[in-house]
Every structure is written in C-alpha cells, then in structure tokens.
Amino acid sequence: MAESEVLYEVKDNVAWITINRPEVKNAFREQTLDMLADAFNKTREDPTIAAAVVSGAGGAFSAGGDFHAMMKLNKANSYMWNDRMLKVAMTIRNLPIPVIAMVEGPCVGGGHELMLWCDLVIAAEDSKFGQTGARVGACPTVGATQYIAKLIGERRAKEMIFLCKTYTGKEAAEIGLANIAVPAAELRTKTEEVCQQIVGYSGQTIRATKVSLNFDSDALYPSWQHGMELLANIWGTDESLEGMNAFLERRKPDFQKFREQRKEQMDAYAEAYEGDRNQSEKSRAARQ
C-alpha cells in the first residue's frame, strides 16, 4: 500500500501535519490538497489540540503545485484545482487554533501561498521563500497577491512576484514574512517550544482573537475569487505550458515568442483600423 501523501500525528496537544512527497520537494497535486484539507479539519475532532503545525518531509517545505498535475488544467476544468486550493486556505484560516508553518528548504510558488495562509511562521535560517509564477508561466493569485503586500509592503511584494525575488528564512524574519528564524538543526525544537507556549494559554481566547485578527483580511475573500478567475484564463495556455515544460526540461523558457505573436495580432488589428476595414461591406457601401 502506498504511503500517504500527508502524514498526521498528535503529540503533546499539537497536531503535526506533514506533506509527504519528498521525491518532488513536497509539490502537491489534487490528492495532496484533499488530504491536507482533511488533516486540518481532523483537528476539530479533538478539542485538546491547541495548535497545528504544517511542514514538509525530507528537508523541503513545499515547491508548490506539481506541474504534472497543473499542466492538465485548462479553463474548463481549472476550478477542480482552484477550489481545492481555496478549501485548504479557508480551512486553515477558519480553524479555532493557530496554524504554524514550520519552514525548511524551499517554500516557493503554491508552497509559499500555503505558508501565507498560516497564522505563524517559524523558519530555518537557510530556507528559501519566493513566488516563481512569472518564471514558469503560473499566476500566484490564491494568497500571494492578496497577502504579501500586507506583510512586507507593496514594493517588496511586487518585487517578489514580478522579479521572482527570493528571501532566506533569516531575511524573511527580518522583513516580517516569517516570525522566527533559527538554524535548521534547532527548527523542530523551537517549533515545539512555541507550540507548548500556546498550549499554556487560553484556548477560547485564542479562538476568539483569531477570528477578530482575521476580520480585515477576510474582506479580501472576493479578491481570491477574482484571482481564481484570472488563474482560470492562464491554465492550459501555450504560454503557461511553455513555462512548465521548460522547468521540467531544465531549459530557459521562450516567453518572447508570445509577445511577438501578440505584436503580430496588434499589427493586424491596427492595419484593419487604418484601412477602414473594421466594418461590414454593407456599412462601407452605405457611407460612400
């Protein structure tokens, strides 16, 4: 029997949820997202659980979406992916307990958005935070475009998204993208310390204040829906497939050819306008 893609363990009143696809740096597919949502929801069944920690197996937090799954998406079926992403995000945000991202190694793309949905972030100093959508033809509109600017400012957010700028865990803590950064060898111990601190506090207070703290950013929900509709127009296009194929083939993508194609289309439009060919022959004849 295949090992589960998401591991779940409760220890000392803390739920430890681990993405278990180390062979692909814990990139997730639809099944992984379903299992993550189920794991987070499972914490509701045990009121003695005071916090949940999400991490990745094998030294990586998550490299984001699995391209072998995402390359099968298009406008007709994109909601099958987008709705799962939204379900995991909303499950994390609506849990009555804090959710902590324990980040080691790469935390990029959709994995970075998973981190953004969490309440607290404890990172290894040498971990890597970043949004890679522009490099691979994807669109980070399920958390990144909504939350990064709130955390680190609009200029840095645009730099991360437009220029694919990355930060180490140490740098992430310095600018407010993470709460705490420690040497990788101390990551689990520090996370356990923070969890036990939460265990010692009032659960009903944390539940109530989490709802209140989320009030402002909950108003961003419509922008998530908007973002997913934008994303639906990206999936399955030749341009997005070029980015993902280039990544899998370890080559530089050729995005310029799509700009040149759009230029040809624009030139054809302008030529029709200037030649007065943007009307029917009937209209043309009536005005001669």
**Structural domain spans, the chain:** 6-238, 255-288
Cβ proximity of 170 and 124 under 8 Å: no
Which tens digit of pLDDT belongs to each residue from 81-99? 999 999 999 999 999 999 9
Neighbours of 9 (CB within 10 A): 11
pTM: 0.92
Of the two residues 287 and 201, the one the predictor is more confident about is: 201
Element housing 54 (H / E): strand 51-56
Say how far apart CA 109 and CA 57 lie, in whole Å.
17
Q: Which residues contact 211 (CB under 8 A, 6 or more apart)?
A: none
Query: What pLDDT does residue 117 have?
Result: 95
- The distance in angstroms from the start CA to the end CA of the chain is 77
Place 106 in a pLDDT band, splitting at 50, 70 and 90. very high
Which tens digit of pLDDT belongs to each residue from 160-210? 999 999 999 999 999 999 999 999 999 999 999 999 999 999 999 999 999
Which tens digit of pLDDT belongs to each residue from 21-55? 999 999 999 999 999 999 999 999 999 999 999 99
Q: Which residues pair with 103 in a beta bridge?
A: 123
Query: What pLDDT does residue 2 have?
Result: 67
- Which is the CATH superfamily of the domain at 6-238? 2-enoyl-CoA Hydratase; Chain A, domain 1 (3.90.226.10)
Tell me how far the alpha carbon of residue 144 is from its chain's centroid. Answer: 6
The burial of 127, by beta-carbon neighbours within 10 Å (0-12 exposed, 13-18 middle, 19 or more buried), is given as buried
Average pLDDT score, the chain: 94
